[in-house]
Chain A
Amino acid sequence: MSEISLTDLLGMPVVDATGIRRGRVRELAMIPHDDTLHVASLIVRTKTGDRTLPFTSLASINGEVQTNSAESAWPLSGDAEGLFLLERDLLDQQIIDVHGRKVVRVNDVDLYRELGQGHISLKVASVDVGPRGAIRRLLKGVVPMSALRKLLLQIPQRPIPWEFVDLVETDPARRVKLKISLERLSKLHPADIADIVEDLPPDEREAVFETLNEEVAAETLEEMDPKVQKSIVESLDSDRAAEIVEEMDPDAAADLLGDLTEDHTSQILQEMAPADRKEITELLEYGENTAAGRMNTEFVALGINASAQDAIETLRHYEGGVETLSTIYIVDSQGTLVGAVPLAKLVLATPLTPLLALIQEPLISAPEGANDHDVAELFDKYNLLMLPVVDDHKKLTGVITSDDVISLLRAKL
């Protein structure tokens, strides 16, 4: 097994079984649908047109490509649909380095020569994003091969193993055909995905958001700059946008929709499930910079007679975000806020302790109209993790979580 670079392969002479030169290597084609690791065929430019050279007829690759068949046995290349061409689709393009968590540009591709089943095959080992690939491409054909090889050995390599590479394909049809799915990217933390996606051009960003599953897409979107959020949602179909927005925290979703045009907002709302739609429509009615505009309408509230055990049971079935779990609220039959119980106290209490015995004093809450400054002050003064928001009748309508306040404060730094 030895390594060879894409640059070395491109333009390499191809000889047939009788030793006569028939053409030069023009492309390396993969069929990712069948095999995401191996090159499926070489495309050879001959006098009679571009021909596809299957690996089964390859004898060796050593300065030139030797085959064990005649030119007429190599079929003429048809259209490249369903093929992933290394020179066209990978070289010089931007890819996602999932391990290094950034977008990088490909200078060269390193392949392994493998021998097996009587013929040679090529396996993609890594993409080179460092100076070695760059210099190889710059000097190939200008400097004698042996001198170039010696020089290249002096230059440090910066390879990204192929298993850490994710590709972005902007054409939806090709994405399906080539089975490009961003499976590695989607396993990263949404905040990291957001950083990576912000480095991509708009079409690629759109492609990422069409490919990720809704839940990951929603969490990623929440981590992004509001300006970028807006442009991404604007570029998506309204049903796809609705799928993602449904998965977002209602407060973040409302902030986002509030930035869009009224037409677009109502289109997206139309596509959403009725319950989510109602929640967000209500939030949209509040001023964006008030406590009510910042609040999340998903939280845990129990009646005054509930015990610690009841509360824990409710938490088990709670579907909202975990950040809204740090405090559990107690409301009376009218929905009026009565008390707040920190999660820690609840967990430490015996199952039958009444919730009312666990409440934190004093009970801090904010009116719906409280501005950002008041909200931040309350968080600071009382060292809160969550702040309940109440309407004019002291009815609990939502909660503000500390992560919202941190984002808010950071935006003002």
Chain B
Amino acid sequence: MKFFKRWKIRLLLFLAVVGPGFITANVDNDAGGILTYSSAGAQFGHLLLWTMIPVTLALIVVQEMCARMGAVTGKGLSDLIREEFGFRVTFFMMIGILLTNFGNVVTEFIGIATSLELFGLSRYYTVPVCCLIVWLIVVKGQYKSVEKVFLAASFFYVTYIFAGVLAHPAWKEAAIATIQPPALSAFRNQAYLFMVIGVVGTTIAPWMQFYLQSSIVEKGVTKRGYPASRLDVITGCVFTDIVAWFIIVACAATLYVHGFRDIRYAADAAQALRPLAGDYAYILFAVGLFNASLFAASILPLSTAYTVCEGLGFESGVGMKFGEAPVFYWLYTLLIIAGGAVVLIPGLPLIKLAVLSQVVNGVVLPFVLIFMLLLINKKSLMGEYVNSRMFDVVAWGTTIIMIVLSLAWFWTLRGGAT
């Protein structure tokens, strides 16, 4: 009892320090993240590890920009886009975000369905039940208390690190592959290009930028409190990508090495770890994926509804009643219902769909980045807090690279068709 009490106090202390940056980073390793990293490792072994360092750098820069904008202006990203670029631009941006995020919502429910199927539970029961749970959490105003549970449970992510170690990976090769990009000819491979965009898209997901900035605003972080948030953001980003690295390495050491290149179900990834790491890692894998999916599923539809309603000027907020903010609640409800329904369509290649949704993230990302860059460099808005030269270089660099990669991928698609 005494032990439990002390443990509880420690946990509360930790949670008190954890800020929006760390939470966002944790949600970043959602179903889309886990499934994309797993597929990347299974399909290409170590060939994508080199992306981790530049992606982490870009993630830190992008998230820091959001946190800074939130702290300095006290406004959300969609509010700022609306105020500075007008209604029409905002409208199309919001449609784009809505569609992209819908893909991500579907992916979270794919994570829920497939992880619970590892325990033999049919998705035709689990998905509707989880839809209802997610919906009730928010509508009943319990999100803040549930968030702490999710956050504590997200320490299951650490199991990926153990799973990675237990899978006896080729450490030396992995280390070299992390700092050495592959030959340029690798990019001619359409599947590889697809996966690179997916890895970037899942790590720097567009919706996270909106979510992080709103969280910073909601927490009331100001210019003065901002340095602490910056640290929070950086820690979160690094933690996320370490976990991502281990997922890729673990899958490379098992699935890839054994020639099991094509992940069709989450069970494939988990089962491949089973003979090497035993039942324990297998169960943790499933629980981890389930928690990550449910956590993100309870944030994403809500965050999307907020983003869209704020940008377009509809009433929004969980403090309001259904009748006071109908568009907000309907949007939220439909995202969940439709997202869950897609997963229940028989015969869909779910894992492929999950990875595709992350590739869409990657294609949409540069558009969000361009708006962010234009906003953050407005002196009238940010004053002395505009971007430094280095941040501009990294962020514009990321934008241009993602546009080039997307165009290259579209090009290969065209080539494939003829």
A residues in contact with B73, CB < 8 Å = 201, 203
Decide if A70 is an interface residue (CB 8 Å cutoff).
no
**Does the CB pair A134–B222 fall under 8 Å?**
no
**Does the CB pair A134–B74 fall under 8 Å?**
no
Contact with B along A340-366 (1 / 0, CB 8 A): 000000000000000000000000000
**Does the CB pair A202–B220 fall under 8 Å?**
yes
Distance of A228 Cα from B74 Cα, bound (Å): 13
Known: A228-B220, A235-B222. A129 touches B313 (CB 8 A): yes
**Does the CB pair B220–A138 fall under 8 Å?**
no
| Binding site secondary structure of chain B | helix
**Does the CB pair B313–A105 fall under 8 Å?**
yes
B residues in contact with A3, CB < 8 Å = none
Contact with A along B46-88 (1 / 0, CB 8 A): 0000000000000000000000000001110000001100111
A residues in contact with B222, CB < 8 Å = 202, 231, 234-235
B residues in contact with A203, CB < 8 Å = 73-74
- CB-nearest residue of chain A to B85: A92
- CB-nearest residue of chain B to A129: B313
**Does the CB pair A202–B82 fall under 8 Å?**
no
B residues in contact with A394, CB < 8 Å = none
**Does the CB pair B82–A105 fall under 8 Å?**
yes
Distance of A216 Cα from B87 Cα, bound (Å): 35
* B85 CB to nearest A CB, Å: 9
A residues in contact with B74, CB < 8 Å = 201-204
Known: A201-B73, A203-B74. A227 touches B220 (CB 8 A): yes
B residues in contact with A106, CB < 8 Å = 313
* B124 CB to nearest A CB, Å: 38
B residues in contact with A137, CB < 8 Å = 86-88
* Of listed A102, A129, A231, residue having the most chain B CB within 10 A: A231
Decide if B354 is an interface residue (CB 8 Å cutoff).
no
**Does the CB pair A92–B86 fall under 8 Å?**
yes
* B96 CB to nearest A CB, Å: 15
Decide if A93 is an interface residue (CB 8 Å cutoff).
yes
**Does the CB pair A104–B91 fall under 8 Å?**
no
**Does the CB pair A138–B313 fall under 8 Å?**
no
* Of listed A107, A202, A228, A234, residue having the most chain B CB within 10 A: A202
**Does the CB pair A201–B75 fall under 8 Å?**
yes
**Does the CB pair B313–A107 fall under 8 Å?**
yes
* B98 CB to nearest A CB, Å: 15
Known: A202-B222, A228-B220, A231-B220. A138 touches B88 (CB 8 A): yes
Contact with A along B206-236 (1 / 0, CB 8 A): 0000000000010010101000000000000
- CB-nearest residue of chain A to B81: A92
**Does the CB pair A92–B88 fall under 8 Å?**
no
Distance of A138 Cα from B313 Cα, bound (Å): 14
How many residues of chain B get a CB closer than 8 Å to chain A's CBs?
16
A residues in contact with B220, CB < 8 Å = 202, 227-228, 231
- CB-nearest residue of chain A to B311: A105
* B215 CB to nearest A CB, Å: 15
Distance of A102 Cα from B82 Cα, bound (Å): 19
* A251 CB to nearest B CB, Å: 24
Distance of A131 Cα from B131 Cα, bound (Å): 30
Distance of A157 Cα from B224 Cα, bound (Å): 42
Decide if B257 is an interface residue (CB 8 Å cutoff).
no
B residues in contact with A93, CB < 8 Å = 83
- Give the contacting residue for A134; candidates B87, B224, B315; CB below 8 A: B87
B residues in contact with A228, CB < 8 Å = 220
**Does the CB pair B82–A92 fall under 8 Å?**
yes
* A237 CB to nearest B CB, Å: 15
B residues in contact with A231, CB < 8 Å = 220, 222
* A173 CB to nearest B CB, Å: 15
Decide if B139 is an interface residue (CB 8 Å cutoff).
no
Contact with B along A79-100 (1 / 0, CB 8 A): 0000000000001110000000
- Give the contacting residue for B87; candidates A138, A204, A227, A234; CB below 8 A: A138
Decide if B405 is an interface residue (CB 8 Å cutoff).
no
Smallest CB-CB A-B distances: 10 pairs: A201-B74, A105-B313, A202-B74, A137-B87, A201-B75, A231-B220, A92-B83, A92-B82, A138-B91, A138-B88
A-B contact pairs, 19 of them (CB 8 A): A91-B86, A92-B82, A92-B83, A92-B86, A93-B83, A105-B82, A134-B312, A137-B86, A137-B87, A138-B87, A138-B88, A201-B73, A201-B74, A201-B75, A202-B220, A202-B222, A231-B220, A231-B222, A235-B222
Besides the contacts A134-B313, A201-B217, what 20 more A-B pairs have beta carbons closer than 8 Å?
Answer: A92-B82, A92-B83, A92-B86, A92-B87, A93-B83, A105-B313, A107-B87, A129-B313, A134-B91, A134-B312, A137-B87, A138-B88, A201-B73, A201-B74, A201-B75, A202-B74, A203-B74, A228-B220, A231-B222, A235-B222
A residues bordering B, Cβ < 8 Å? 91-93, 102, 104-107, 129, 134, 137-138, 201-204, 227-228, 231, 234-235
